[in-house]
Structure formats: C-alpha cells, structure tokens
Amino acid sequence: MVQPVGTSTTNVQSNSVGAMLDPRNLLNHYRNALDWDLLRKFEGVSILNTRQFVRREVVELAKFSALLEQTEIASSHPLDGKICITSFFEASTRTRLSFEAATLRCDGRVLSVPDGKVTGIAKGESLSDIGEMFNTYGDLVIMRHPETTAIEEIRRNLRLPLINAGNGTGEHPTQALLDWYALLKWRPDLATEDFTGDEFHIGIVGTPRDMRAVKSFMRMSMLFDNAIGKITVVSEQKQPLGRELAEDVENSPIEVEIRSDMQSVLHEFDVIYMNSIALLEGSYELLGKEFSLDANSNLKENAAILHPLARRDELAASLDRTKHNLYFAEAAGAVFMRQALLVSVLGRIDSLPDSIIYLSS
Amino acid sequence: MVQPVGTSTTNVQSNSVGAMLDPRNLLNHYRNALDWDLLRKFEGVSILNTRQFVRREVVELAKFSALLEQTEIASSHPLDGKICITSFFEASTRTRLSFEAATLRCDGRVLSVPDGKVTGIAKGESLSDIGEMFNTYGDLVIMRHPETTAIEEIRRNLRLPLINAGNGTGEHPTQALLDWYALLKWRPDLATEDFTGDEFHIGIVGTPRDMRAVKSFMRMSMLFDNAIGKITVVSEQKQPLGRELAEDVENSPIEVEIRSDMQSVLHEFDVIYMNSIALLEGSYELLGKEFSLDANSNLKENAAILHPLARRDELAASLDRTKHNLYFAEAAGAVFMRQALLVSVLGRIDSLPDSIIYLSS
Amino acid sequence: MVQPVGTSTTNVQSNSVGAMLDPRNLLNHYRNALDWDLLRKFEGVSILNTRQFVRREVVELAKFSALLEQTEIASSHPLDGKICITSFFEASTRTRLSFEAATLRCDGRVLSVPDGKVTGIAKGESLSDIGEMFNTYGDLVIMRHPETTAIEEIRRNLRLPLINAGNGTGEHPTQALLDWYALLKWRPDLATEDFTGDEFHIGIVGTPRDMRAVKSFMRMSMLFDNAIGKITVVSEQKQPLGRELAEDVENSPIEVEIRSDMQSVLHEFDVIYMNSIALLEGSYELLGKEFSLDANSNLKENAAILHPLARRDELAASLDRTKHNLYFAEAAGAVFMRQALLVSVLGRIDSLPDSIIYLSS
C-alpha cells in the first residue's frame, strides 16, 4: 500500500481529491495493528504543545483516528457520563464545533463557553479561579485563549486534563495532529523509519514565530526527519522562526530555508502548508497575490496542499476539485483525531466495542 | 369525530382554547392508522420549501406529530447517536430552541451555532466551505439565513440533509407544516378529499412576496383546495403576492382576493393567519390598530386565529382565553412536528417503540 | 464526628482548606440516613425563595448533595429524557454552567439561552408568552432575570416547575442552599436541635436589601437559630435590611446588629459571608480596603469565609491556602446541590441506583 514517490497511481489521485482520503490506507499499511498500550498512557495527560510528542505517538493517534473514521462507534457510547468544557476566550466556531462534535459523537456531554471574553466569566476574574471552578463542572477542559500565558495560569488550580486549542502566539497542537493525520492517510510511508523514497520538501507559508498553527505544524513535521529532507518557510518577516524554533532547527537534520518569494519556489514543494492569512489584518493586504494559490499555480505534479481553513483569497476554490486538495481531507479528519484524543485522555479506550479493540490488537 | 362547520360543540370549544387541542382528534379521524411507508420515504430528504409537498404528505406528517404529542418517546431514544447542527445566521431563539428541543426529546445531540453572523464562522468564509465543514460535524443541518440564495450556496458541498428554517424572503416550510398541524388537530376534516362542509375562507394578514412564513403558509394552504374556497390576502402593498405565487394562484381552483382593509373583511374569515408584524420595522407603525386583533374584534363565531409568535401589539392577550386562540396550540405543536421531521429525515422511524408502530399501522 | 466549637482538630483543619471538605462528614453525622420521603415531596415544586424552606428541608437537601458528591451516579442516568431550560436574561456564566453541569452529570439535556436580553426572545415579547413557549420545550426552567417581578410574570402561563437563579433585588435561593451545604459539611452539628457549643456569630458583608444572594443567605441562616446567636450585617447603607427582612428579624430569636466598620468587628465572626462587591460598580471604589480580606486580616482562629465568587480585590488569593477558605468548598459543592434539587424536583429520586437509596434509608 506504500505509494512510491513521484508515481501518480490511480489510487493516489482518488485519494488526494477533496475529502476522499480512505482511512484504510493508513490502517492497511500497519496491517490494522494498533499499539493500544501506548495510547492508554494518554489517560489524564494534558495536550499542551507539540514538544510533548514523539513520532510514534503521532502515528498511533493517527491510526486510532483512522479506525474511528471508518467505524460506527456512536452506539457504543464511549464517553457516556463524561463532560468536556469547551472554553473559548477567543471565538473560533470551527475549532469549537470540531471538539464539540467529537465529544457528542462519542456520547460525551458538552459544557460550552463560546465566547469567554464577553460573558461574566472573565470580568476581572482570574484564570486560576476559573480553573478551580471547572474542577467540579466537568472532566476535561478544552481552552483557546488570546494570551500565551493562559495555559500556565489556568493550570494553577485546575486538576482536570487540559487540551490547548490555541494559546496566543504559543501552540495549537491538535491542529498539527490533524494536519499530520491527513498527511499519513495520504502517504502512510512518511512514518516509516526506513523511508526509501525521495526525501520530502515541505513549504510552509506563514510566520511560525507569531502564528501558533504554523509553529505547531513545523515542530511536528520535524519529528518526521526520516522522510523530510527540507522545509522552506515562506514569510515576509525578517526572523520568522523566533528563538525557540530556531534552536529546534539547529538540532534537526532537516535543512531549513527561509524565503520570501513563494511563487518562485512553489514548484519544489511536495507539501504546501498554507494558512488563513487573508483573514488576518495587515500583511495580506500588502502581499496580495504573491501569497495566493489557485489551479494555475506552478505546483509539482503530486503536490498536496494543506490549509487549516477558514480561507479567503489566499486559496482559490479552483483547487477544490484537483488532486492537490488535501485540505478538505484535513478538515474531514479533524473530528476523528479529536475523538481519538478525547477517548484516550479520558481513559475510555476500553469502552469501545470489543470488535474494534480485538480487530486492531 | 368530524366537527361540522358552524356547529359549536363543547368539544370544539374546549379544543380551541389555548394549548388544549387534543392530538387524538386527528388520530381518531384516521382510526389511528399512519402510512409509515410514505413517511419512510423522507429519509435523507432535505426540507427546503413547501412546493416539494403534496397534501397527503402534510397530513401524514401531522398525524405522526399527533402520535408523538400523545406518547412518551424519550425513553426509546430514537435519535441516539445522531447530531443535528442548528446553524442560525440570523438569530431566532424561538425557532432554534424549538428544533433543539425536538432533537433533545428524541435523544439526539445538538451542535448549536446560535448566531453565525457574529462568530468567526462567517468572517468572509463562503457558505459552501461551511457546508463542507458540516459534513463531518453532524448528520443533519438546520439553517436560517438572511439571504434567500443561502440554501443553494450551502448545498454546493453539503452532503447532509438540510432543513430550511427560513431563508431571506424565500420560504419557512416547517412553520407552514406546524401551522397546518394545528389546523388539522382542530378540524381533521379539512384533509378529507370529499369535504362536505361550507368551504373555508382563510384570511392571511401580511405580504407573502416578502414574508417567508406568510408565503409558505399560503402555498401550503393551496394544497387543501378540497376544503378551502377562498383566500383573502390583507396587505397594504400593491402586489403582495409576487410573481411566483401569482402563478400558483392562477393554477389553483381557490379564489384569491387582495384587500387592504382588514377590519371590514374580518367577520368573513374561518381562519385568520396573523404575523409578527409589530416586531418588524416600518409598516406597522403606519398601519397601527387597523391590523390589530383583540377580544372585541369583529370575528366569526368559530374563527380560529393562527400566529407564529413572538407577538407584540398586533395580537392582544385579551384573545388568549377565548376559543379563537389557536396560536398557543400552534406553538405547542411545533416541537412535535419537528420531531416527526427529524425522525423521518434521519431514518429512525424504526427506532420508535414497537407499540407505537404497531398500534398505528 | 461532631466538631466541638473552638477546638481545632486536625480533621477540621484539613477540612477547611480549599475544596477538601469531605461530604462524609455530614453523612456520618446522620449515620448515612436520609429522609427520602421528605425529598420526594419536592417533585414538581418550584424553588422561588428561601422563605419556602424549613430547616429540615435544607438539611436533607444538603445530605442528598453530600451523597451525590461522594458517589458516581453518571452511569445511572437519573435524568434520562428530561430537558432543563437555562434561561438567563442577565448573563452569569458561573451560575448557568453550574446548573448545566448538574443537569448533564445526571444525563439530563440542556436547552440553553445564555443571554436572553440580546436574542430575539426578548424583543418586546412578554415573559408570559415566553413561559407559554417553554411548556413544550422542556421539563423544568431555570431563570435569572434583572427584574424582581420576572418570576411572577413568567409563571402566568408556565406549567413547568421553575428554579429562580436570581431575580433582580429579590432572591437567589439555590445560592443560599449551597452556602449552607458548605457550612454543614464543615460543621454538621450546626443543624442539631440541641446545639451545645458556643453560639455562632455570623458576619455578613453586604446590603441584603439590594443584593439577592446576601438576602437569601441571611434569611436561610435565620432558620438555624438553634446554633446561631448573632448576625452582624456590615454595610455602608443606612437601612441595609429593607422592610421585609427587618420584619423577619423582629420575629427571630437571633440578635441582629448593623455595623459599617468591618475591620473592627472581624475578629468576632465564626463565619464571614463576603460578596462579589468589587465586581459591582460604585460603592466598592469608595470603600476600598475597608471591606477587603486577606491572610493578614484579624480573623478568629477557626473562622470560615464564604464567598459566592467570582471575586476581585475584596478577597485576596493569599487566603486560598489557609484554613479560613471555605469558598472553594462552597463552589465545589454547587454542582452537587443543584443535582440534588434537579433530581428531586423532576421526580427522579427513584431512578438513582438501588445501592444509593438502600444504603441511606
């Protein structure tokens, strides 16, 4: 089932169009075997940043997601009696609904704070008091916050596991997990220790220093140095990596290059990671079409495009029906990756139907 | 059980006060027999406008609603594992809660977007991308949107069934269904092919061309040409029907009249359909009491008043305890009609208790 | 298990720090026996004010809360099929989430109106119409409203039990119940008819006339005249009790004193009830530190501090790790007291596991 690099088989094509990526691609590659013991170790563990992961954990979570994507599990109610608190101090309907859908799909309950900023919850109340309050309100907290330090503050009194759904210019680790879930469904061989194809060249459009999803994707990508030879960061900023990430880069065998001219390097990328840059204020207005992709862009034949969505002008709808579209699959997999995380962190793997556990042990 | 027109029996009186309409009225009229095969055909079907219905479907949905209204079904969990997405790009607490209550009553889960306009979801993101996102978030989408074209746009990528909860000046088909559910509980004979009473005269206060609930009610009423002889549209507008509805009128045996003087024709109506006109801006301030009803209005003895609520000055509370009040029954039936739709569209009729299916086959 | 007054045992100390209060304290005091028949009488009863309670009911509700706090009941789904409507016409994330968590913990469903003021629900629509609407949307209504008369208005047409979660300057009875739940876990002997310790002196900081939580706490405290000898109200207002409460005071054996100098009486109080005064506008800015507590305040050795939270400057975090902190236990018990109320009012005591009922009868 390994797709040789540069060989455009029918299967790869059908897989790279829209949301059509078959999760069995990934499962078959591993003969349907999951390392349940490794996944059980996530019980009670907070998911705070990409640094806490090793490659094998990313791969097992992706395989668990694939298993959930191809199985009807609603009727087994794995999260029966569990309450997830979605606490969004910065509104993000897409991410919030994705976590809530994942919870509900597993029969968990949702306590929703869609906009913590405008409700009484945040009128001068400290995050550490809010954490204390959450202890008896639920079993797990999912938080997004505009401040990078918010994670640390809420954990002062919080005794529940916390999932970071984006903190200021910090991290957005679950987004990186689902980005890689899409990549691994598309190319399961990217996870193999003895990767034998041409090494991958990944293009990342954005400024990892300031954009948490970009930073988390880049950091997680560096776990896959078995298959990735080069990462090009395309940014109009002078020092787009920031100090921390620059250190990571020094310790990695992957070659990292900084460019500001996207169009001239585009044809080199096997994977292009785009971001919602047109939704941000400031830079996009200046850069305009230079940072945009459409069906006429000079893309490598089998290049895959990732984009966390929502999008505006930086990613044209003309790409939707092409084989470059991995972003719909990325979005489609989001709910399943979040299910895998919730079931693991809440210690409910063994509430899944026996047939699932058995078939995949 | 058929109530003869113009004969005010005790039963009719008790039935027409407040929310007291007995759903068994309708079921007994049909000897409790439902056409389950006809209802099963709604599985996977989007509910977009009133044009998609024939009279028999409206009647069977009303009978199914009546069955649900007189039965405790929560314990049978017919929508277990199903997620309904209530996506309101135009706030409407009443309608949203009605759909959410219907979902929860059947043990479905709700993913709620109470105000799509102010959340990140709509910041420049296309409705077709939102539709793509919804595919993995739930099993059915209920949408209200201020733009008439929104239905078409979201369906470009949406693969889930869609229920239109009001689109711009378009339609509001579920409101019409529950309006007719109230009418059929009150007068089950209105559905009979060989209606033998005096033909009904319906007065519709409002401008169907611009007001979707009014348009949907009028269109659905035209399916009942067996019992309805005349419809009077009371509007201060010159061409209140609009082109499309004017065409429907030409093809209907029902006589349609346009008037602007409500008070002088009021005494002719068997049913008066009012709207939340005092909540709208503009016209009501001008028209004032001319378009208002109260307990002293010159109503036909057994006239029934429908109103989708919320109301303000156009419908006085003095009518609440009179036999003309069908609007409380209309509101009370809303949740049951929506349950009937959700269970049918989500293909879960056969998850209802055997006793229900058996008793009514 | 009774803690003698003034004797600081190890157990009392560990109990009075943070959220560590052991619910078994209270249950053991009563040899785990609950009066289920008394609790069953709450079925269908609205919880509107503190006046409707006698002391024994408060104690039994507290014991029921303690039972729920130390038992895993989620898997017994006591509120299966029930819908609670949280209708907040005045935003209060803390209180709303507490009720919603209580509902979800018991497997009830939540229909949430987080901010009734900004949604369509309240645009000129009467509360009595909203009450009529709620009748078919759920099984119980929890309402907060800025107007004191709102309770009366919504009950005009509402046929469901109503829980008052705060009405204007009226009452906030469930807050008083959970305040007393914390006190009874800490000192179960406060409920005994033949209380033999030194009589308690309670200090209440705030103006009961205008502040509903303060009023409800004071009224409920007056039920415990067996153990409470004196209440001091600390307020900068001239007539802080208001007419109604002044009458209650006249009929009570408890000595009530009005003071405006908190710091000079502080050392006399066995219990200090603080309020979120720094979150209010106006008075706190003037009074400043005079009405603040911190770890250096002149407190009686075993004094317990209650505070409904959220807090700002009036209650310093330096108190959090001291034995005076009863406010975290108060907050932690809130969800359990609300579970006890919901299960009782919705008539689902007999849906709890047999083991619970049996062990405690």
**Cβ separation B331–C132 shorter than 8 A:** yes
Residue B230 pairs in a beta bridge with B201, B255
Higher pLDDT among residues C254 and A311, named by residue:
C254
3-state SS, residue C84: strand
Give the CATH architecture of domain B173-331. 3-Layer(aba) Sandwich (3.40)
> What is the CATH class of B19-171+334-350?
alpha beta
* Nearby residues of C184 by Cβ (< 8 Å), 6 or more positions away: C26, C59, C62, C190, C191
Contact B136 A332 (CB under 8 A): yes
Cβ contacts of A332 on chain B, cutoff 8 Å: 135-136
Which residues in chain C have Cβ-Cβ distances shorter than 8 Å to B315?
A: none
State what percent of residues in chain C have pLDDT above 90. Answer: 75
Rounded to a whole number of angstroms, the distance from the CA of B91 to the nearest CA of chain A is 15
Given a cut of 70, is residue A280 above it in pLDDT? no
Q: What is the pLDDT of residue A20?
A: 63
* 3-class state of residue C120 by DSSP: helix
CB atoms B137 and A107 under 8 Å:
no
Find the residue in B nearest to A109 (Cα): B109
Interchain pair C135, B332: CB under 8 A: yes
- What pLDDT is recorded for position A221? 98
What does the pLDDT look like over C51-69, one tens digit per residue?
999 999 999 999 999 999 9
pLDDT for res C44:
98
**Could you tell me where in chain C the CATH 3.40.50.1370 domains are found?**
23-172+334-349, 173-331
- Strand, helix or coil for residue C339: helix
Tell me, yes or no, if C124 comes closer than 8 A to chain B by beta carbon.
yes
Grade residue C284 by pLDDT with cuts at 50, 70 and 90: low
Q: Give, in degrees to the nearest 5, the angle at Cα C148 between C54 and C235.
A: 75
Task: Please give the residue of chain C at the shortest CA–CA distance from B328.
Answer: C132
Q: Where in chain B is the domain with CATH 3.40.50.1370?
A: 19-171+334-350, 173-331
* Chain A residues whose beta carbon lies within 8 Å of the beta carbon of residue B125: 309-312
Range in A7-21, A228-242, A326-340, B163-177 with the lowest mean pLDDT: A7-21
Tokens of C158: 């509402």
CATH architecture of C23-172+334-349: 3-Layer(aba) Sandwich (3.40)
Do β-strands B162-167 and B140-145 pair in parallel, antiparallel, or remain unpaired?
parallel
Lowest mean pLDDT among A274-288, C75-89, C347-361: A274-288
Q: What's the pLDDT band for C4 if we cut at 50, 70, 90?
A: very low
List chain B residues with CB under 8 Å of A97. Answer: 85, 111, 113, 133, 137
Please tell me the predicted confidence (pLDDT) of residue B119.
Answer: 53
CB contact under 8 A, A278 and B124: yes
pLDDT digits (tens, 9 = 90+) for A302-359: 999 999 998 888 899 999 999 999 999 999 999 999 999 999 999 999 999 887 776 6
Three-state SS at C215:
helix
Helices B212-221 + B173-186 axis angle, to 10: 50
Give the span between the Cα atoms of C151 and A304, in whole angstroms: 59
**Stretch among A284-288, B222-226, C153-157, C355-359 having the lowest mean pLDDT:** A284-288
Inter-chain contact A80–C74, Cβ cutoff 8 Å? Answer: yes
CATH of A25-172+333-347, one of 1.10.260.40, 1.20.1740.10, 3.40.50.1370, 3.40.50.920: 3.40.50.1370
| Inter-chain touch C112–B107, beta carbons under 8 Å | no
pLDDT at A32: 87
ipTM computed for the complex: 0.91
A281 touches chain B (CB under 8 A): no
Give the per-residue SS3 of A243-282: HHHHHHHHCCCCEEEEECCHHHHHHHCCEEECCCHHHCCC
Q: What would the two tokens of residue C142 be?
A: 């929890």
Query: Contact, B173 vs B99, CB < 8 A?
Result: no
Give me B178's structure tokens. Answer: 């529950």
pLDDT recorded at residue C290: 81
The shortest C-alpha distance from B115 to chain C (Å) reads 9
In terms of Cβ atoms closer than 10 Å to its own Cβ (0-12, 13-18, 19+), residue B355 is: exposed
In whole angstroms, what is the distance from residue B73 CA to residue A95 CA? 34
A251 has pLDDT over 50: yes
Question: Chain A interface, mutation test: which of B107, B129, B130, B157, most A Cβ atoms within 10 Å?
Answer: B129
Distance from CA of B110 to the nearest CA of A (A): 8
Cβ-based contacts of A124 with chain C (< 8 Å): 278-279, 310, 312
Separation between Cα atoms, residue A237 and residue C201, nearest integer Å: 65
Instruction: Give yes or no for a contact between B355 and B330, defined as CB atoms under 8 angstroms apart.
Output: no
Smallest Cα–Cα separation from A178: which of A73, A42, A5, A21?
A21
* CB-CB neighbours of B117 under 10 Å: 14
Q: What percent of chain A has pLDDT over 90?
A: 75
CB contact under 8 A, B311 and C121: no
pLDDT per residue of chain B (361 residues) written in tens, 0 to 9: 233 333 333 223 333 444 468 999 899 999 989 999 999 999 999 999 999 999 999 999 999 999 999 988 877 899 999 999 999 998 888 999 999 999 999 999 999 987 776 555 556 789 999 999 999 999 999 999 999 999 999 999 999 999 999 999 999 999 999 999 999 999 999 999 999 889 999 999 999 999 999 999 999 999 999 999 999 999 988 899 999 999 999 999 999 999 999 999 999 999 999 987 765 555 555 566 788 999 999 999 999 999 999 888 889 999 999 999 999 999 999 999 999 999 999 999 999 988 777 667 6
Residues of A in contact with C112 (CB under 8 A): 112
Q: Tell me which of A80, A88, A90, A93 to substitute to probe the interface with B (most B C-beta atoms closer than 10 Å).
A: A93
Q: What is the DSSP letter of B143?
A: E
Q: Which of A175, A266, A258, A267 is closest to A221 using CA atoms?
A: A175
Reported as a single tens digit per residue, the pLDDT across C162-205 is 999 999 999 999 999 999 999 999 999 999 999 988 999 999 99
Q: Which helix (H) or strand (E) holds A109?
A: strand A109-113
**Whether pLDDT at C22 is above 80:** yes
| C131–B contact, CB cutoff 8 A | no
Q: What is the pLDDT of residue A196?
A: 87
The predicted pLDDT at position A285 comes to 55
